Structure 1
Amino acid sequence: MSVQSIPTIFWYQPQAQRFGPENRCQTYQQALAQAGFTVQPMSQALELYQEVAETLSNNRQVPVICLVSDGGNDVLAVIARLRAKQAQLPILVELPDLDETKIAQALYCGADQYCLSNTSPDLWVATVSSLLRRARASLSSVSLATPTPQAASLQTADHWKLLDEDWLLEAPTGQQITLTTTERQLMRTLLQQPDRRASHQQLLGAISNGDESEDQAIAHNRLGVVISRLKRKGQAANMIIPIRSVYKWGYMFGAIGKPI
């Protein structure tokens, strides 16, 4: 195996959320290294984004996998941002225990698979290896495709935009729809977030102008109605607006949006 093709695992372990004894981490790192992976532990999200981007930019033939520890809200934001920036990047999330809510949230945010902290190193290696097959398949498809200059131009222009003082929503393909006041506040809130995800409370606060007197069940239902109507309005204009639900937490805009 050439140095250029050795699969790299960027293992993100937030300092404040690292769990389990240090020798446990070393045991898993050694098992992954013996299986042929290069493991790079990281504790800062910004460093993780930069290293992943640089590695993929400098050598597209290096299979890259991200392993993210814990499933707290901060880590969910990291997963969502990685997925938004790298659509084909295999992402594995490590969780301390079998919590279906955390697993669902991680998968909705962009993780491909999960593993538990107390499982054996052999199962970790098998899980990572299954993601490696996906990474290599993705690299093969990229190497077979030779994008034309026109296609490359379309990729760089692949942004959703708010125009005309944020009253128009424009798709990457050029279609536009006019937003109502509530829809404008909703879209502004989503696109203002660094990872384009907002909690129910953030969105409810935006569309109700801070009025918290409304019953929570009614408010959540109204939020769902606003989003459903906005998506139907987009469909009528041949636009698939990529707003997705994050299980029991909020919503995310699952595409590249031009920062506000």
Structure 2
Amino acid sequence: MNIPNSNTDKKITVYLIEDEDDLQEALVYSLEQLGFKASGFSTAAEFYRAYAVNRCDVVVIDIELPDENGFSIAQHLRSASNVGIVFATARGDLSDRVRGLRGGADAYFVKPVHAEELAASIEAIYRRIKAAEASAGRALQPHQPEAPRGTGRWVLKEGDWILYAPDGRALRLTMSERAIVTSLFKQRNKPVDRTQLAAALGGGDLENFDLQRVDAVVSRLRRKATAAGISLPLHAVRGTGYQFQT
């Protein structure tokens, strides 16, 4: 049975993070048979690399993964985007379900997961996201400025995925870069602590979070800006973190 992807001319893209190979393969195959464009990943790192290049519409996450807790992945995604989030896990305790839903998940399934029920949930989530985006677009349309080129100031646009320099040059951000820049923009011209930036990156367990990941993202962003001929006013603040000066 094919479930039609209503209200869209393209297939709904689903990323599945599941480290049990047989289950991952079976769910990806079933979702594709039901009309979705599905891809599977065994680790959070594999997923992040793929998501940075091509975003999905909905991500299905197992909680127990070899390199990162599923709750942390959901927190990271929810802080940086409006992607649909579904948990599919063996953990069925009420406390886990409540934590997952409060942490940003749109739905929570306990294994075994039936593909058609999962597909119906994915479609419902996708429709809600698109309806909310359309509603927000209509509400903002009367006040929408012209393309932010040459405004004389730093501007975040396109859902905070593109940073425009004062001269109009654009820098497209990855998911991690977007999380850092958005946090710095909220407190522009003020130092932002590295732990705050780590939290923006999805470091829910800050005690075990490697703060050098923040430095790595900032360093990569600076190199990318330099390569694009953009002088990025992103400065290290000794003993604190970083500051975006405008």
Residue number in structure 2 paired with 1:67: 60
Richer in helix (by share)? 1
Residue number in structure 2 paired with 1:11: 16
Q: Is the 8 A contact 1:90 1:134 kept in 2?
A: no
Distance 1:196-1:154 versus aligned 2 partners, 3 A rule: same
Q: Report the alpha carbon displacement of residue 81 of structure 1 after superposing the two structures with TM.
A: 1.6
Q: Is the 8 A contact 1:160 1:258 kept in 2?
A: no
Q: Report the alpha carbon displacement of residue 130 of structure 1 after superposing the two structures with TM.
A: 1.4
Q: Is the 8 A contact 1:64 1:135 kept in 2?
A: no
Distance 1:174-1:190 versus aligned 2 partners, 3 A rule: closer
Q: Unpaired segments of 5 or more residues in structure 1?
A: 57-62, 162-170, 179-183, 204-256
What's the CA shift string for 1:213-248, capped at 9, x where partnerless? xxxxxxxxxxxxxxxxxxxxxxxxxxxxxxxxxxxx
Distance 1:196-1:40 versus aligned 2 partners, 3 A rule: same
Asked if 1:129 is matched to 2:113, the reply is no
Query: What root-mean-square deviation, in Å, do the aligned CA atoms of Structure 1 and Structure 2 show?
Result: 4.0
Which has more radius of gyration? 1
What's the CA shift string for 1:73-113, capped at 9, x where partnerless? 62222222222221x11111112142112222222332221
Q: Unpaired segments of 5 or more residues in structure 2?
A: 164-180, 209-240
Asked if 1:79 is matched to 2:74, the reply is yes
Q: Is the 8 A contact 2:16 2:28 kept in 1?
A: no
TM, length-normalised to structure 1? 0.52
What's the CA shift string for 1:138-181, capped at 9, x where partnerless? 554576566532798155586345xxxxxxxxx726697x9xxx
Q: Report the alpha carbon displacement of residue 192 of structure 1 after superposing the two structures with TM.
A: 3.7
Question: Distance in 2 between the 1:5 and 1:142 partners?
Answer: 21
Q: Report the alpha carbon displacement of residue 46 of structure 1 after superposing the two structures with TM.
A: 3.0
Asked if 1:28 is matched to 2:21, the reply is no
Three-state SS of the structure 2 residue aligned to 1:5 is: coil
**More divergent stretch after superposition (134-143 vs 99-108):** 134-143
Percentage of identical aligned residues: 17
Asked if 1:191 is matched to 2:203, the reply is no
Q: What code does the residue aligned with 2:89 have?
A: L
The equivalences for 1:100-179 within 5 A come to 100-138=94-132, 140-141=134-135, 147-148=144-145, 149=148, 153-155=155-157, 159-161=182-184, 172=186
Three-state SS of the structure 1 residue aligned to 2:69 is: helix
Three-state SS of the structure 1 residue aligned to 2:54 is: helix
Distance 1:124-1:52 versus aligned 2 partners, 3 A rule: same
Distance 1:198-1:139 versus aligned 2 partners, 3 A rule: same
Match of 1:95 among 89, 93, 97: 89
Three-state SS of the structure 2 residue aligned to 1:118 is: coil
Residue number in structure 2 paired with 1:250: none
Residue number in structure 2 paired with 1:244: none
Question: Distance in 2 between the 1:130 and 1:43 partners?
Answer: 25
Q: Report the alpha carbon displacement of residue 27 of structure 1 after superposing the two structures with TM.
A: 3.9
Question: Distance in 2 between the 1:6 and 1:82 partners?
Answer: 21
